[in-house]
Amino acid sequence: MTLLRTRMSRNNPIKTSFIRSLITLAIFSFPALASEHLSAVASEWPPYALTKTKPYSGIDMDLTHIIGQRLGQKIELKRCSFKRCLAETEVGSVDIISGIARNKEREQYLTYTDTPYSHVEVAFLVRKGEASLVQNYEDLYKFKVGTVVKSEYFEPFNSDPKINRYQVSEEAILLHMLANKRIDVIIGTNPNIDYQTLKLGYSDKFETVEYNTGVSVPIYYAISKKSPHTSKIGQIDQIIKELIADGQMERIHSKYK
């Protein structure tokens, strides 16, 4: 067989050259085609991301679908914990993340849109009848406060070493712990925490504390700085601006109220 292949190569130089060209084209073309797909991560964060079962839904899922359509590219979604999603974008194994607040640490590895697509309000929850336990910020020092790991709330809370934190992967876990008296106070954001309280059947069991943070946190789309698609951040920002201007953004949000 070796002799036969050698003779064929010698007798058919044009054919051999053509085959080599096809192989080279295949090697270099298929990765290029694959890279045209964008990837995005999503963690369970109702009503923005409902990822417990497929097909995924929520505000972010609807927006990501529209963004993909307008970019003319398929966006493949991957579910992960919020902490894991951040890690994936940091190393560049995925391109896009949504539902993300800005901070200096994240800005080291993410490029954000200029325009936020939504805002969330920071709130502390306790069991019904215990709202007066937290009347001011300093009252938080008396309790174990449930938080979602790697979440950005507000300063000084984010960096306050005197806060006794209990960290979990998602807000639903905090609600169960609060209901079962395993924790005293939890911090969350609205509309998220109200949405989950209703869905989990806890509407009559919790209330917000008397202390009002008055904090509204803008949330964004961002692309990993290690993604080959960082140049698309301007296009995504423009799509978000258009959706806000024509009222479609508000309609998407209203769909999940």
- CATH architecture, domain defined by 38-118+217-255: 3-Layer(aba) Sandwich (3.40)
Using an 8 Å Cβ cutoff, are 186 and 124 in contact?
yes
Amino acid identity for residue 217 in this structure: V
Instruction: Collect all residues with Cβ–Cβ distance below 8 Å to 207 and sequence separation of at least 6.
Output: 125, 126, 127, 128, 129, 130, 131
d(CA 111, CA 102): 10
d(CA 200, CA 214): 26
The DSSP line for 134-160 is -SSGGGGGGSEEEEETT----TTGGG-
Q: What is the pLDDT of residue 6?
A: 34
Using an 8 Å Cβ cutoff, are 163 and 145 in contact?
yes
d(CA 36, CA 222): 18
Q: What is the pLDDT of residue 20?
A: 55
Closest CA to 165 of 189, 138, 192, 187: 187
CATH class of 121-216: alpha beta
CB burial of residue 236 (10 Å; 0-12, 13-18, 19+): buried
Q: What is the pLDDT of residue 147?
A: 98
Q: What is the pLDDT of residue 29?
A: 40
Q: What is the pLDDT of residue 161?
A: 97
Where in the chain do CATH 3.40.190.10 domains reside?
38-118+217-255, 121-216
What interhelical angle do 59-71 and 248-255 show, nearest 10? 140
Q: What is the pLDDT of residue 22?
A: 47
- Give me the average pLDDT of each 10-residue run along the chain (257 residues): 37 52 43 65 95 95 97 95 96 97 96 98 97 98 96 95 96 96 96 93 95 96 97 98 98 94
